[in-house]
Structure 1
Amino acid sequence: MTDPQDPLIDPYREGEFSGPCRVVELNGTRYTLLGTAHVSAESAEDVRRLIRSGDFDAVAIELCDSRHQNLSNPDALGQQDLFEIFRQGKAGMVAASLALGAFQQRLAEQSGIEPGAEMRAALEEAGRHELPLLLIDRDVGITLKRIYHNVPWWQRFSLFTGLLGSLLSREEVKPEEIERLKEGDVLESTFSEFATESEALFTPLITERDRYMVLRLAEQAPPGEFRNVLVVIGAGHLKGMVERLEQPLPASPRAEREALEVTPPPSPLWRAIPWIITALVLTGFAIGFSRNTELGWQLVGEWFLINGVLSALATLIALAHPVTVAATFFAAPLTSLNPTIGAGFVAAGVELFMRKPKVRDFATLRHDVTELKGWWRNRVSRTLLVFLLATLGSAAGTWIAGFRIAGALFGSAN
């Protein structure tokens, strides 16, 4: 593939940089892949030195559009319309993004190095030298969704709790965790404990992204388009990407790349569950009233009380406004019978109306979420908590009240 005596490649030999470097040549285009550490001042300097050499006419980096926006504009998340986030069902993803950012901030405070410094260096130097900047990584939201759908259902809860525990803990980040970041990004290090033991997790987290980034290169910088492309990636992706670049590239990289962006839809049964629960509860009410009016009203009363109380208590845990708590109490029993709208959406909407976030809440959002109490102090993150906890409270209330109704009908039948 490459000639070790080529004068252009000579400066990039193994050992010249803090991380590994490989060169692959395809039809007149050299792809210089630099494996970086995401918590390393040396990697950032390597990137600056390479771009300043003047040998490159394009720079590709391991970022997606959303991560690029967050890196170039840290306040971008706070500038989004919160109501639209809740309406589009993106509250969970936004909360996860904030939690990942909090983990990054903790690493920065302990190591004295901002994670992603090498990506920021690539952004700055590419702009300074007026080089095309190619974003080649898959959107982090798609990767998380594909992980969720790829792992068995019983493993999802352990991943979720492990993620929250590692991101929200105020304990010192262990040295081995920082070392893992030198091989991958925050997302990879968070799941690395599971990824090494689970092919279902490793595939969407690492293998698919190796392939995806090669396909993006084939689209944005196909062989012959540029003379020499610098590809800045985490060291953990270097081997997989080199192997794929050394294989024939697909004739239609876009089609294969889009296939890696598809998130499997929920199964028909999973989509039907809310409607089935609604039908069962309403049927329970009807059976209760058919037996006697007192039993019917008892079932209705228990449904409203259990669902309303648990949802309201959940918003209290989030320190929601008293009006939000009251509104959730009355709304949850009704929204639980309407799969098209959730208690969390109503609770978040009322909270936004009663406590509209101020400019300073958006300005301090990323700093506030680095500590647990900050999630309650900041109005933006607290509204996210109101949404998530109200949703969980309503779900718990639905199941508990549903079993109570079944028990009352079954008991009375005997």
Structure 2
Amino acid sequence: MSFDPPGSGSTDSDPDSDSGRRPDSASGGTAAVTPDGDGEGSVRVVGTAHVSHRSVDEVRETIEEERPDVVAVELDEGRYRQMKGETPDDLDAGDLLRGNTVFQFIAYWMLSYVQARMGERFDIEPGAEMLAAVETAESLGVDVALVDRDIQTTIQRFWTRLSLVEKLRMGGALAFGVTDPRVAGVVFGVVAGLVLGPLVGLFGGAVGLTTPLLVAVGAGGVVGGAAGYLAYAAATGADTTTRLAVAAGVGLAVAAGVAGTGVGVDLLASLLSEFVLGALGSLAVGVAVGVGVGGVAAVAADALGVGFADEGEEVDEGFDPDDLTDADVVTAMMEEFRTVSPGGAEALIDERDAFIAHRLVALRESGARVVAIVGAGHRAGIESYLRSPETLPPMESLVGQAESTGVPWGKIVAYGVSVGFVGLFVLLAMAGVRNEQLLALFGAWFLVNGVLAAGLAKLAGARWSSALVGGAVAWMTSINPLLAPGWFTGYVELRHMAVNVADIGRLNALLSDETRPVSDIVSEMLDVPLFRLIVVVAMTNVGSIIASALFLLYVIPAFFSSFEAGVTQLMLDGARESARILWTTLRGLA
């Protein structure tokens, strides 16, 4: 699968001219480039549109006319063998779960979805021109050269080169493009609300959100959630969307009634404690604010037509996908992509231009006559390098994993949490806090992390065994930046399922179905092993992150409320005692 910008351009360049010449776009997308004066070999570049039937015909005709020694195609080994059906398409679970690979795979999936939708719109399989090139070359007995960089390397470098702002921008744009904007807005609102909730508990008093009010809201949320679930279960004769609407309406009404009147709040506080209800209340307020803001933004996006056009909407009759062979169109689209994501453009376009050119220069220097089939988004860059090979960057700079050049805020925060957690227990021990009290505090850390990580994993559809494993290790992974509880949950899940590349096609087909309720589509997406695995892993990690915030903002203050000195004073006392012991030890050594 190729992830070039959906465009194509073509020129027939004069090999004796640096600038070349541009024919009418209908004449084809080729360029013949030979070495300067050595006559060893030649490369003819054919720029194709991935969604153009004419490009497929042009590829076949060019190869049959030229009868070259080698046909070079913009494919790597993995994509070529997958296209030929020579290897199983199972995904490596270790690669999928390790580090940022989940995020890289999501980027891979989203980009493939965009291209699949383009192919559906123009009634052609994306990459058909590459398949046509391979089949035509094989039928003529011509060698085929795979000249593209490994797709996993490209996606890793693409994700790493994106700044945090670019990642958020791309994620938002793609999410609003692949689903109903209202759904995307609400989902973003829920996620933002879960982050906002702990801040409400910490600073809410400054804006009138007192502890008694949060306790009442938390009690309302518990009773309203139960009422909503019962309403959903009772509406068995209705469709899923109607059942969810009924459940939401009943739940919100009951929650508002309990929070407003205070009925049953004292009873729930005696059963669950004010601490638990206050924490739930702050989360409920945060989620309500997040969903409200996300919903408003989503409605605005929907009104402005953000996202793909409806399936029933006709393509502009004046638009012909073959017009994408015009070089000016490609240039405009490339520049637009660079504006949105300069880092991503470097990995997806510029580096691959250089990598492919390296391979083509090597073929040319071997004396081969080459016809190179590439997406037109790469044509100009490749031709420039073919004319001036000395400008090529070293191949070593184009392979391997890229290192992030920005500030690693994620790692800084993760290591900060680790140091803070260990430092808390060390300083409290040095301050004279008893072992049983430290053990109780650790037990609270274990319990809060375990319950939230396992609970959200189960909510996402994990098996009980997977959820419990993730919950059991959440306390440890929360203080170790090299681990994540979702990995453990995912590995256990994979004992009962197999994920493969075909799952991407199923997901794309579901996302493209705009005739069914979104709730039904999401339900079926969760039945796709790959999607369920990603959701389970993500939700386990989110649960652990929320648990860490709740522990810091709620558990620690509540735990030390019975101490004469607050937690800050105890930590200061521990630091003084540590410094005293260290100083005494150093003096003794001196």
Q: TM-score, normalised by structure 1?
A: 0.79
2:71–2:137 CA contact under 8 A, matched in 1: yes
Q: Which amino acid aligns with 2:568?
A: A
1:202 aligned partner:
345
2:394 aligned partner:
256
1:70 aligned partner:
82
* TM-fit CA distance, 1:22: 1.6
1:36 aligned partner:
48
1:50 aligned partner:
62
1:284–1:406 CA contact under 8 A, matched in 2: no
The answer to whether structure 1 residue 347 and structure 2 residue 489 are counterparts is yes
Please state whether the residue corresponding to 1:229 is helix, strand or coil: strand
Q: Which amino acid aligns with 1:351?
A: E
Which of residues 233, 236, 242 is equivalent to 2:383?
A: 242
1:37–1:181 CA contact under 8 A, matched in 2: no
State how far apart, in whole Å, the 2-side matches of 1:88 and 1:194 are: 27
Please state whether the residue corresponding to 1:126 is helix, strand or coil: helix
1:280 aligned partner:
420
1:9 aligned partner:
none
Please state whether the residue corresponding to 1:209 is helix, strand or coil: helix
2:161–2:404 CA contact under 8 A, matched in 1: no
* TM-fit CA distance, 1:364: 5.4
2:122–2:321 CA contact under 8 A, matched in 1: no
RMSD, matched Cα: 4.0
State how far apart, in whole Å, the 2-side matches of 1:363 and 1:143 are: 17
1:119 aligned partner:
130
Q: TM-score, normalised by structure 2?
A: 0.57
Please state whether the residue corresponding to 1:31 is helix, strand or coil: strand
Q: Return 237-246 or 298-307, whichever deviates more.
A: 298-307
1:286–1:296 CA contact under 8 A, matched in 2: no
1:7 aligned partner:
none
Cα deviation code 1:149-206 (max 9, x no counterpart): 334333332223334443556964586999699479xxx9999755234543433332
State how far apart, in whole Å, the 1-side matches of 2:98 and 2:339 are: 36
State how far apart, in whole Å, the 2-side matches of 1:19 and 1:402 are: 64
State how far apart, in whole Å, the 2-side matches of 1:157 and 1:237 are: 26
State how far apart, in whole Å, the 2-side matches of 1:18 and 1:389 are: 53
CA distance 1:346–1:368, change in 2 (3 Å):
same
CA distance 1:81–1:160, change in 2 (3 Å):
same
Aligned pairs for 1:4-403 within 5 A: 14-15=23-24, 17=26, 19-26=28-35, 27-28=38-39, 29-73=41-85, 76-77=88-89, 79-83=90-94, 85-86=96-97, 90-167=101-178, 172=308, 182=324, 194-219=337-362, 221-226=363-368, 228-249=369-390, 256-265=394-403, 274-289=414-429, 290-292=432-434, 296-297=438-439, 299-353=441-495, 355-357=496-498, 365-370=503-508, 371=510, 373=522, 374-402=524-552
Cα deviation code 1:233-276 (max 9, x no counterpart): 112222222222111447xx7x8122112433468977676454
* TM-fit CA distance, 1:39: 0.6
* TM-fit CA distance, 1:87: 5.4
Please state whether the residue corresponding to 1:327 is helix, strand or coil: helix
Please state whether the residue corresponding to 1:53 is helix, strand or coil: helix
Gaps of 5+ in 1: 5-11
2:52–2:122 CA contact under 8 A, matched in 1: no
State how far apart, in whole Å, the 2-side matches of 1:143 and 1:84 are: 15
1:39–1:181 CA contact under 8 A, matched in 2: no
CA distance 1:162–1:363, change in 2 (3 Å):
closer
* TM-fit CA distance, 1:292: 4.8
Gaps of 5+ in 2: 1-12, 182-306, 512-521, 570-590
Seq. identity, %: 25
Q: Which amino acid aligns with 1:315?
A: A
Q: Which amino acid aligns with 2:534?
A: L
* TM-fit CA distance, 1:3: 7.1
State how far apart, in whole Å, the 2-side matches of 1:181 and 1:300 are: 65
Cα deviation code 1:41-74 (max 9, x no counterpart): 1101110111122531211122223332333339
Please state whether the residue corresponding to 1:377 is helix, strand or coil: coil
Cα deviation code 1:75-104 (max 9, x no counterpart): 743x24435643587444444434433444
Number of residue pairs the alignment of both structures matches: 394
Q: Which amino acid aligns with 1:65?
A: E
Q: Which amino acid aligns with 1:367?
A: G
State how far apart, in whole Å, the 1-side matches of 2:104 and 2:164 are: 19
Q: Which amino acid aligns with 1:343?
A: P
CA distance 1:362–1:266, change in 2 (3 Å):
closer
Please state whether the residue corresponding to 1:32 is helix, strand or coil: strand
